[in-house]
Amino acid sequence: MKVFNDLKTRGVADILIAVTDGLKGIGEALAAGFPTTTLQTCIVHLIRNSLDYASWKDRKLLAAALKPIYTAVDADKAAQALDEFESGPWGQKFPTVTASWRRAWDRVIPFFAFPPAVRRVVYTTNAIESLHSRLRKIIKTRGHFPSDDAATKLLWLALRNITADWGRAAKEWREAMNQFAVLYDERFTAPAQAGR
């Protein structure tokens, strides 16, 4: 709750989509601060958690068996694929996997309401995790800072260098932003228009 209140005090007026890794209580905290936000479970985290139940030799096959669920064209087809997984050999061998998907299902299905362009950019939190990992590495190698200003400057320089590598994702995001503009209508403001 404190995190979302902090975001509000920093000027965040709305959050369209929040992709999370299943942290307990985040749904309630998000609903209190930003009630119109679409809460989406990170599909990659859900798959990784599912694979934790399998031995190394079964992981590839289990991942392949799960793929029809998260690549389905809509929520109904995904539910059907989950039912088929549950009644199939992998669902019988790993009932805990089916149970974990069913527990998270209400936060999985928002994903299927989005067109493919949006799905490609919201199915995982990996990009954010990668950014945080790179920033942590820079901070750890530096040790301590003589002042807050020195820490801020180092992070600014690090972010400048990190964002220089982001050119390849621009096409996906442009297409997704067009879809966001359609899906979220007046709640969506394109970055180029934000300053106008």
Q: What is the pLDDT of residues 107-128, one digit of tens each?
A: 999 889 888 878 877 776 677 7
Q: Pick the residue with more confidence: 172 or 188?
A: 188
Band (53; pLDDT cuts 50, 70, 90): very high
Q: pTM of the full predicted structure? A: 0.74
pLDDT, position 27: 87
Question: Please, are residues 16 and 184 in contact by the beta-carbon 8 Å criterion?
Answer: yes
Give me the sign of the Cα torsion angle 155, 158, 164, 167. Answer: negative
Query: Rounded to whole angstroms, how far apart are CA atoms 185 and 179?
Result: 9
User: Within 13 Å, how many C-alpha atoms sit on residue 15's CB side?
Assistant: 22
Tokens of 127: 């990009």
164 DSSP 8-state letter? T
Paired tokens of 9? 């005090």
Task: Please give the residue that has the higher pLDDT: either 105 or 134.
Answer: 105
Which of 53-57, 124-128, 130-134 has the largest mean confidence?
53-57
Q: Give the domain ranges of the chain.
A: 2-41, 45-106, 126-194
**So what's the pLDDT on residue 52?**
95
Q: What is d(CA 27, CA 45) in angstroms, rounded to the nearest whole number?
A: 16
pLDDT score, position 103: 93
Q: By percentage, how much of the chain surpasses pLDDT 70?
A: 93
How high is the pLDDT of residue 162?
85
Q: Is the pLDDT of residue 188 over 50?
A: yes
194 pLDDT more than 70: no
Cβ neighbours of 112 (radius 10 Å): 16
Query: Which amino acid appears at position 86 of this protein?
Result: E
72-107 exposure pattern, b = at least 16 Cβ within 10 A, e = fewer: beeeeebbebbeebbeeebbeebeebbebbeebeeb
State pLDDT tens for residues 148-169. Answer: 999 899 999 989 988 887 766 5
Which of 22-26, 95-99, 108-112, 149-153 shows the lowest mean pLDDT across its residues? 22-26
SS (H, E, C) 96-129: HHHHHHHHHHHHHHHHHHCCHHHHHHHCCCHHHH
Find all residues with CB under 8 Å of 18, minimum gap 6, and list them: 26, 30, 34, 37, 38, 39, 40
Average pLDDT over residues 58-69: 96
- Check residue 195 and give its pLDDT: 43
**Predicted confidence (pLDDT) at residue 190 exceeds the cutoff of 60:** no
